[in-house]
Amino acid sequence: MRPTFHPHLINGSTGDPVLFVDCLFEHRALLFDLGDIQALPPRKLMRISHVFVTHAHMDHFIGFDWLLRILLGREKDLQLFGPPGFLDQVECKLRAYTWNLVHNYVSDFALHVSEVDGNGAGRRASFRCHSAFRRVDETGVICTDNVLLRESVMQVRCALLDHGGIPCLAYALQEQAHVNVWKNRLQELGLPLGAWLRDMKQAVLRNEPEQWQIKVAWRESDTQRERLVSLAELKPALRIVPGQKIAYVTDVAWHKDNVKRIVDLARDADLLYIEAVFMQRDAGHGQRKFHLTAHQAGEIARLRTLAASSRCIFRRAMSEKTGLCCAPKWRRHLAELQ
């Protein structure tokens, strides 16, 4: 099965937390956390449609300015999500700059920012380039079941966690279902591969009726050909299986409420990204810093119901003496997890 989501920690497991998820067939990407993003080329930054920030500590939010610089002057709408207080934090970032010349841009780049409380409610406002990024159109929002993004292809859900007295969001990205296509059966139907498969998959995920028509277009011997095919005709070439699920958890204190919420959010995830900042022998230091140890991260991974092919990515190993990332200790962290 060719996966729809292609996740990548752009700074590795020891740098600023940034998870870039390229969405196959969707021509876009999602970003989880907004630390240092300069390792991402502009062409990838311009694919980003949604950014999900856990909290506004510098290593999770410093990349906002660089993303803004790359997208400024482009015809694009960017959705950002964060914990309570996030609207004010984005506004303060934008107000730090002088915008007296932005009316000269042809394109009106816009930020649509939401802050959510983890209990199904929040607020949303927009900041537009041509309006010098003034805060407008503020309104309350309802996030049923804490779902922030709900589409026919995917959804993103959040959980509100505690990071030493400040709210911190964890996220789960879930593919609604995965539609596999048997190429040999398409060939038997006389149909080529092509961009029309995206329309077909979306129609299946929307639960369109079997008589729903898909326009198939291709080029053959310099001749443009077209054909309408119903979902009923395509059914023998399709196999629908459960979709991917990716959970992202970072910067949380070790206590019962956090653990329960993480386990509920990450249940049945195929891939769990979770911090493992300290070794268990440094658990006291981790408690003072409100971070997990490798052992605690492993306990959480074991508590959730794992899919048969699931994997866990443990982010960042640190030294108690220096507080700096310490790659040589990584094998010892893994030994603790085992």
Q: What is the 3-state secondary structure (H, E, C) of 276-308?
A: CCECHHHHHHHHHHCCCEHHHHHHHHHHCCCCC
Query: What's the average model confidence in pLDDT over 185-196?
Result: 86
Residue 140: Cβ within 10 Å count: 8
219 compared with 10, residue with greater pLDDT: 10
Looking at 222, 241, 260, which one is the last position of a domain? 241
Residue 129 has pLDDT above 70, yes or no: yes
Q: What is the pLDDT of residues 4-42, one digit of tens each?
A: 899 999 998 888 999 999 998 778 999 999 999 999 999
Q: Are residues 125 and 255 in the same domain?
A: yes
Total domains in the chain come to: 2
pLDDT digits (tens, 9 = 90+) for 230-260: 998 898 889 888 889 999 999 999 999 999 9
Q: Indicate the SS3 state at residue 184.
A: helix
| pLDDT tens per residue, range 37-64 | 999 999 999 999 999 999 999 999 999 9
Average pLDDT rounded to a whole number, residues 275-296: 86
Cα–Cα separations (whole angstroms), residue 188 to 100, 163, 232, 239, 298 = 61, 56, 15, 16, 48
User: Does 337 score more than 70 pLDDT?
Assistant: no
Q: How much is the average pLDDT of 320-337?
A: 38
Same-domain pairing of 195 and 168: no
- Domain limit, last residue, from 241, 258, 283: 241
122-131, 229-238, 268-277 — most confident range: 122-131
Q: Provide the residue range defining the domain that includes 281.
A: 5-176+243-337
Domain edge (last residue) among 200, 223, 241: 241
- Considering the domain architecture, whether residues 146 and 200 belong to the same structural domain is answered as no
Query: 63 and 104, same structural domain?
Result: yes
Q: Does residue 222 sit in the same domain as residue 318?
A: no
Q: Quick one: which H or E segment has residue 100?
A: none
For residue 288, give the amino acid letter.
R
Regarding whether 143 and 121 lie in a shared domain, the answer is yes
Residue 330 confidence (pLDDT): 37
Summary mean pLDDT of the chain:
87
Please, are residues 190 and 78 in contact by the beta-carbon 8 Å criterion? no
Q: Does the pLDDT of residue 67 top 80, yes or no? A: yes
Residues 230 and 289 in one domain: no
Q: How far apart are CA 165 and CA 57, in angstroms?
A: 13
Greater confidence (98 vs 308) lies with 98
What is the rounded CA–CA span in Å between residue 110 and residue 129?
6
Dist CA 233 CA 221 (whole Å): 25
Q: Which two tokens stand for residue 154?
A: 């995917």
Whether residue 124 is found in the same domain as residue 237: no
Q: Looking at the structure, do residues 57 and 97 belong to the same domain, yes or no? A: yes
The CATH number of residue 31's host domain is 3.60.15.10
User: Coil, strand, or helix at residue 218?
Assistant: strand
Given a cut of 70, whether residue 332 has pLDDT beyond it is no
Between the ranges 140-149, 171-180, 273-282, 314-323, where is the mean pLDDT highest?
A: 140-149
Beta-bridge mates of residue 224: 219
Same domain? For 293 and 234 the reply is: no
Both 226 and 109 in a single domain? no
Distant-in-sequence, close-in-space partners of 222: CB < 8 Å, separation ≥ 6: none
